[in-house]
Structure 1
Amino acid sequence: MNPRERLKAAKGEIASEPRTAILVLGMHRSGTSALGALVAAHGATPPKHLLPGSLHNPKGHWESTPLTIADDHLLTAAASSWQDWLPLDRQWLQSPAAERFRPMMTAIIASEFGDAPLFFVKDPRICRFLPFIASILADLRIDPIAFLPVRNPLEVACSLQERDQMELPTAFMLWLRHVLEAEHHSRHMPRCILRHEDLLSDWRHQMDRAARETGIVWPVTSDQADTAIAEFLDKDLHHQRASVADLQNHPDATPLVRSAYAILRSMASEGDSQDLRDQLDRVRATFDESCDVVGKAVTAGNLAAKRLHGELEKGIVERDALADAQQALIRDRDSFMAERDALAHAQQDLIQARDSFMAERDALALAQDGLVAERSALARIRDDLVAERDAALASRSWRLTGPLRWVSSIRRR
Structure 2
Amino acid sequence: MTEVYSHSYPSLENDIPAVNRSLTESTLIVVLGMHRGGTSAITRAMETIGADFGNNLGNPVAGENDKGFFEDLDIHRINAELLHAAGASWDSLATIDLDRIAPAVLDVFRERATSVLREKCRTRIFALKDPRLSRLLPFWMPVFERSGIRIVYVIAIRNPISVARSLKRRDRFSLEKSCRLWLAHMVPAIRATDGQRRVLVDYDTLIDAPIAELTRVSTCLGLTLNAQRVAVYAQEFLDNRLRHWQFTPEEFDAAHAAPQLAQRLFQALRAMLSHKEEESRSALALALRDAEHYALSQQEPTRTPAAVQSISKIVSAAVRAMRAVRLF
TM-score of the pair, normalised by structure 2: 0.80
| Pairwise CA distance, 1:208 | 1.0
Is residue 267 of structure 2 the alignment partner of residue 259 of structure 1? no
Contact 1:38/1:229 (8 A) holds in 2? no
The amino acid that maps onto 1:133 is: W
| Pairwise CA distance, 1:89 | 2.7
Is residue 296 of structure 2 the alignment partner of residue 296 of structure 1? no
> Using a 3 Å threshold, how does the CA distance of structure 1 residues 16 and 33 change in structure 2: closer, same or farther?
same
Is residue 289 of structure 2 the alignment partner of residue 285 of structure 1? yes
Computing the radius of gyration from Cα coordinates, the structure with the larger value is 1
Structure 1, gaps ≥5 residues long: 1-9, 304-413
Give the match for residue 200 of structure 2.
193
**Structure with the larger RCO, 1 or 2 (CA within 8 Å, 6+ apart):** 2
Give the match for residue 356 of structure 1.
none
Q: Decide which of 22, 33, 39 is 1:32's aligned counterpart.
A: 39
**Could you tell me how far apart the structure 1 residues matched to 2:126 and 2:291 are?**
33
**Could you tell me how far apart the structure 1 residues matched to 2:232 and 2:83 are?**
38
**Could you tell me how far apart the structure 1 residues matched to 2:252 and 2:21 are?**
53
Q: Decide which of 92, 97, 117 is 1:84's aligned counterpart.
A: 92
Give the match for residue 13 of structure 2.
none
The amino acid that maps onto 2:200 is: I
Q: C-alpha offsets along residues 214-253 of structure 1, whole Å, 9 cap, x if unaligned?
A: 22223xx134431244222111111112121221121321
| Pairwise CA distance, 1:83 | 0.2
Q: C-alpha offsets along residues 277-302 of structure 1, whole Å, 9 cap, x if unaligned?
A: 443333333233333333127x59x9
> Using a 3 Å threshold, how does the CA distance of structure 1 residues 165 and 202 change in structure 2: closer, same or farther?
same
Contact 1:148/1:194 (8 A) holds in 2? yes
CA RMSD of aligned residues (A): 2.7
Structure 2, gaps ≥5 residues long: 1-16, 306-328
| Pairwise CA distance, 1:12 | 8.0
Contact 2:21/2:150 (8 A) holds in 1? no
Q: C-alpha offsets along residues 113-135 of structure 1, whole Å, 9 cap, x if unaligned?
A: 24133111011100012242221
Alignment of 1:41-60 (within 5 A): 41-55=48-62, 56-60=64-68
Is residue 80 of structure 2 the alignment partner of residue 66 of structure 1? no
**Could you tell me how far apart the structure 2 residues matched to 1:170 and 1:271 are?**
30
Q: C-alpha offsets along residues 74-96 of structure 1, whole Å, 9 cap, x if unaligned?
A: 11212221102322236558944
Give the match for residue 21 of structure 1.
28
Is residue 232 of structure 2 the alignment partner of residue 227 of structure 1? yes
The amino acid that maps onto 1:205 is: A
The amino acid that maps onto 2:270 is: R
> Using a 3 Å threshold, how does the CA distance of structure 1 residues 136 and 251 change in structure 2: closer, same or farther?
same
> Using a 3 Å threshold, how does the CA distance of structure 1 residues 121 and 94 change in structure 2: closer, same or farther?
farther
Contact 2:19/2:145 (8 A) holds in 1? no
**Could you tell me how far apart the structure 1 residues matched to 2:161 and 2:194 are?**
25
Counting helix residues as a fraction of each chain, which structure ranks higher?
1
Q: What is the SS of the residue equivalent to 2:273?
A: helix
The amino acid that maps onto 1:238 is: R
Give the match for residue 117 of structure 2.
109
What fraction of aligned residue pairs are identical, expressed as a percent? 25
Contact 1:148/1:192 (8 A) holds in 2? yes
Contact 1:53/1:60 (8 A) holds in 2? yes
> Using a 3 Å threshold, how does the CA distance of structure 1 residues 95 and 217 change in structure 2: closer, same or farther?
farther
Contact 2:52/2:126 (8 A) holds in 1? yes
TM-score of the pair, normalised by structure 1: 0.64
